Amino acid sequence: MQENQKDQTTTDTTADRLVLSALALMRKQGYHKTTLEDIADDVCLPLDKVTDCFATKADLCLQVLDRHNEHLSEIFSKTEEQSNPRQRLSSLIDSLVDEGESLVKYGCPITRLFLDLKNESPELEQAATALVNRRLEWITEQFRLMSFVDEAPDLAARLTGALYGVTLLSSAAGDETILRNQLNQLKSWIRSM
């Protein structure tokens, strides 16, 4: 391996470690309370190594948002194994059940970042808004495929709002049972359509 390739691989590996650290720290403490110093400490690197990869926290946060986008892609891809849109929506809800413990402990990571970045910078706000809208658009499409063409946007907004609300409520109460029970109710609602 040539020296340049080796340096690039090391940089990529370091950048990946930094993104994963930022992802976890921002999930636990939010964007504003997470510093580049926190991330450097978490991965046991000097701060200058962090700034070699990411000049600003905003640059690093864009990569965190990309990771959340990749995670949504994985969830949507997994739901495509289901043959119909009702099953796909149920599979989406099941993915939240699977993350129940961390959702109760830290809340929805996408919602948290969206709220933190809402008035931060146009670039960060747009990236966070796109992430929230992507889930809404995917849910809207599932309702359209269920032949709720005219009602799809309203039904999608209702389900999306319920998912975010249930996550917030269960997190505030610190009770995973609330999350599971309410998600099961939402699955029943979808099956009844």
CA–CA–CA angle 27, 30, 35 (5° rounding): 105
The one-letter amino acid code at 190 reads: I
Q: Which residues contact 42 (CB under 8 A, 6 or more apart)?
A: 21, 24, 25
Structure token digits, residue 56: 């600003």
Q: Residue range 71-91: average pLDDT?
A: 93
According to the model, what pLDDT value does residue 6 have?
A: 44
According to the model, what pLDDT value does residue 150 have?
A: 96
Sign of CA pseudo-dihedral 66, 115, 130, 83: positive
pLDDT band at 177 (very low <50, low <70, confident <90, very high): very high
Q: Residue range 60-74: average pLDDT?
A: 96
According to the model, what pLDDT value does residue 119 have?
A: 87
Q: What is the pLDDT of residues 85-116, one digit of tens each?
A: 999 999 999 999 999 999 999 989 999 999 99
According to the model, what pLDDT value does residue 47 have?
A: 95
The pLDDT of residue 1 is above 80 = no
Confirm if 98 and 71 have CB atoms less than 8 A apart: no
pTM for the full model? 0.86
